[in-house]
Amino acid sequence: MHPNTEQNILTAQAKAVDEQPKNTKEFIETLIHNPNDSFSVIDAKNFKIILVNRAFLNAHNVEEREVIGRPCYEISHHRSRPCEPPEHTCPLSETLRTGDPSSAVHIHYDKEGRKKYFEIKTSPIRDEKGEIHQVIHISHDITEYKKAVEALRESEDRYKRLISSVTDYIYTVTVQDGRPVATSHGPGCVAVTGYTSEEYGADPFLWYRMVYEEDRQAVLKQAEHALTGTNVTPLEHRIIHKDGTIRWVRNTPVVRKNEKEEVISYDGLISDITERKQLETHFLQAQKMETVGRLAGGVAHDFNNHLTVITGHCDLALLELHEKDPFRSHMEEIKRAADRAANLTRQLLAFSRRQVIQPKVINLNNLILNIDKMLRRIIGEDIELLTLLKTDLESVEVDPGQFEQILVNLAVNARDAMPKGGKLLIETANVELDEVYARSHVSVTPGRYVMFSMSDTGMGMTAEVREQIFEPFFTTKEKGKGTGLGLSMVYGIVKQSKGNIWVYSEPGKGTAFKIYLPWVDMPLEEVKEKRIEKELHRGSETVLVVEDQEEVRRVAVEILRRQGYNVLEASQGDEALLICEQHERPIHLMVTDVVMPRMSGPELAGRLALLHPEMKVLYMSGYTENAIVHHGVLDEGVNYIQKPFEMHGLGRMVQEVLNK
Ligand code: ADP
Ligand code: MG
């Protein structure tokens, strides 16, 4: 202590002694009328109150005449006898027992029975013989303080209960001078990240490393904000769980500051939002596919008309040209290019789910076994093909031709992914997808499905690639090798068959595609083999061609005339009606476009049925027009040829319909 300070204190003490009140009674009165502490003197023999001050009366909410001469236990505790241990440790009894001053926190009740907390001090007053005859009882009201403590404890309890009931991960960062000095990790860290709090304790950089690399910058920024207590907002980012999977979390920090507005700590709540994120992504993906699909479908539709003209004229020109004609090879090249283009539009239509499908109830196992030979040819000898086909596989309703396309496309991709050979496994199974599965997979309705999967041991793909594979024209293959349409088509076909497709893949490990098709309780249907003929069909019946696109009409007319038919032509419905009215001999067949201005193909057919009941109808279209197709499925009994068609194809179809 500084010598000067010591001097000062000594002087002050001397002065205080000097200024002691001369009148002791006055001093005592001042003391006992202290407004904060209740003061009473109690008779040691019978606990009767002899003297009280104003603070006592106020605290007990009583008048002086109500208390003087009454036992203290009656007034303060509303009891009929003195308080006794162990029921009650009364400092007054304690002083009487030991003869020493005593103190305790005690509960008193005021006149209305309100509970009050007092910090109590008691001291004995002895008579000349040294016997205790009275006790001084001073009590300090700490009710407000007690209430505050209780409220705090209750809120802490509630907080603890809350913490132990959430599965989220809560961490606390202690901050000093704007820098983190310690971090504690709540028990939820195991559930969310896979690591225990001990592991975090042992490695201060574990948390940082666990954050997905691309998100680390944002996480650091958030921590910076938390340390300074400004702009603190929740952040959604990715982490790598101990099991190696990528998870999405939401990190919400809450900052605590001292009275100087300095951050002393912050608590963070980290919750796993992976499921929600996945749903969001799936949803956006589905929306994008829908939009791209509509666009692709539109383009394919227009293209098909042009391709019909190109292909048709090539076929006609080839008919004219002599075997040795030098122009022949040019025409053949054009034809091949047109075929490739037609293949492209077919894929686009399949992707956009605007292809006309003719579903049949089939058993996928049969279909797989049927094209087993072709699959083996596709994948080559270095790749081993294994099949695990479920016996008693349930039936599904799909277009068999389209499902073959799925198989071929998946197999081609698997082959490309295994340039050094490997294994290709095809599996089928009956499965039941429940509510839980449906909740985490957008667009899945719970129910019974037939599962088809194709897995390879190839190069696999990264998450980025995986997210885009179903998009048309997405390819990682070198120019000329991939079109990026294979999986788009697969996707479209699966969707159009009311199924779902999922892909599981990891770089270096391989890829598995799983397709789920709803199972149907219907008898199997017979699947006819497609015949491929190059013979030109010939006929002599009368055929009416109705098509508003002049070039398309001309080529169709020309093709049919070449095949010997007697052809009538009209560019639209009215004209066709007129021709039919004037034509007195039978018209055996009408080949008509579906959508035309003013009158649709089906409408026209309806009107003509009265004039020429013998007339059959063949629709030609490049699109799933709603007039003859519902939900992509061709109406019962409708004859249909897809544009672009070849000369042989049209000829065969016409003959087939005429012979029905
Ligand atoms: P393409 O085969 O013409 O590239 P696809 O639509 O069939 O187009 O496939 C798109 C992309 O998906 C491929 O370029 C490839 O990156 C990836 N992919 C498809 N199947 C596999 C597979 N089995 N293994 C690895 N990557 C695949
Ligand atoms: Mg492909």
Atom of ligand 1 minimally distant from the CA of 481: 3
Eight-state DSSP code of residue 231: S
Tokens 């009650």 map to which residue?
Answer: 88
Mean pLDDT of the 112-141 span: 88
Q: From the CA of 472, give the closest atom in ligand 1.
A: 6
Please check the confidence at residue 533 and state whether its pLDDT lies above 50.
yes
For residue 457, the tally of other CB atoms under 10 A from its CB is: 18
pLDDT score, position 629: 64
Band of pLDDT at residue 568, cut at 50, 70 and 90 = very high
Q: Which two tokens stand for residue 82?
A: 């003195």
Distance 552 CA to ligand 2 centre (A): 32
Centre of ligand 2 from the C-alpha of residue 325, in Å: 38
C-beta atoms surrounding 616 within 10 Å: 19
The predicted model gives 252-281 an average pLDDT of 90
Distance of alpha carbon 49 from alpha carbon 40, whole angstroms: 7
In the reported structure, the alpha carbon of residue 441 is separated from the centroid of ligand 1 by a whole-number distance in angstroms of 22
CATH superfamily of 3-147: PAS domain (3.30.450.20)
Q: Which of 360, 449, 430, 425 lies closest to 391, judged by CA?
A: 430
- pLDDT tens for each residue of 206-250: 989 999 999 999 999 999 999 999 989 999 999 999 998 899 999
Does 166-272 match 3-147 at the fold level? yes
The pLDDT value given to residue 600: 87
- Distance from residue 299's CA to the centre of ligand 1 (Å): 23
At 457, list the tokens: 């041991």
Q: What is the mean pLDDT of residues 22-49?
A: 79
* Band of pLDDT at residue 642, cut at 50, 70 and 90: confident
Cβ of 475 less than 6 Å from ligand 1: yes
In CATH, the number for domain 542-658 is: 3.40.50.2300
* pLDDT tier at 331, thresholds 50, 70, 90: very high
The per-residue pLDDT for range 196-208, each reduced to its tens digit, is: 999 998 998 998 9
Ligand 1 atom showing the smallest separation from residue 458 Cα: 24
For the chain, the average pLDDT equals 86
- The whole-number pLDDT of residue 428 equals 96
CATH topology of domain 279-349: Helix Hairpins (1.10.287)
Cα 5 from Cα 20, distance rounded (Å): 23
Ligand 1 pocket mutation, candidates 289, 383, 413, 420, criterion most atoms within 8 A of CB: 413
pTM across the whole model: 0.59
Percent of the chain with pLDDT strictly greater than 70: 91
In angstroms, the Cα distances linking 195 to 171, 186, 215, 252 are: 13, 11, 19, 19
Q: What is the pLDDT of residues 294-329, one digit of tens each?
A: 888 888 878 888 999 999 999 899 988 998 999 999
**Mean pLDDT, residues 363-380:** 91
Find out whether the peptide bond into 644 is cis, omega within 30 degrees of 0.
yes
Atom 8 of ligand 1 has which residue's CA nearest to it?
484
Sign of CA dihedral 612, 614, 615, 616: positive
The residue whose CA has the least distance to atom 23 of ligand 1 is 414
Domain residue extents for the chain: 3-147, 166-272, 279-349, 360-520, 542-658
How many C-beta atoms lie closer than 10 Å to residue 331's C-beta? 18
Please tell me the distance from the alpha carbon of residue 187 to that of residue 199, in angstroms, as a whole number.
Answer: 12
The rounded Å distance from CA 475 to ligand 1 centre is: 6
Task: Count Cβ neighbours within 10 Å for each residue of 197-225 and write b for 16 or more, e otherwise.
Answer: beebeeeeeebeebbeeebeeebeebbeb
Report the alpha-carbon distance of residue 176 to residue 169 in Å, rounded: 23
Q: What b/e string do you get for 385-399 counting C-beta neighbours within 10 Å, with b at 16 or more?
A: eeeebeeebbbbbbb
Confidence bin at 1 (pLDDT 50/70/90): very low
Q: Read off the pLDDT of each residue in 476-504 and give the average, rounded to a whole number.
A: 89
- Domain 360-520 adopts which CATH fold? Heat Shock Protein 90 (3.30.565)
What CATH number should be reported for the domain whose range is 166-272? 3.30.450.20
Which atom from ligand 1 is nearest to the alpha carbon of 476?
Answer: 14
Q: Which of 341, 338, 353, 347 is nearest to 472 (CA)?
A: 347
Distance in angstroms between the alpha carbons of the first and the last residue of the chain: 121
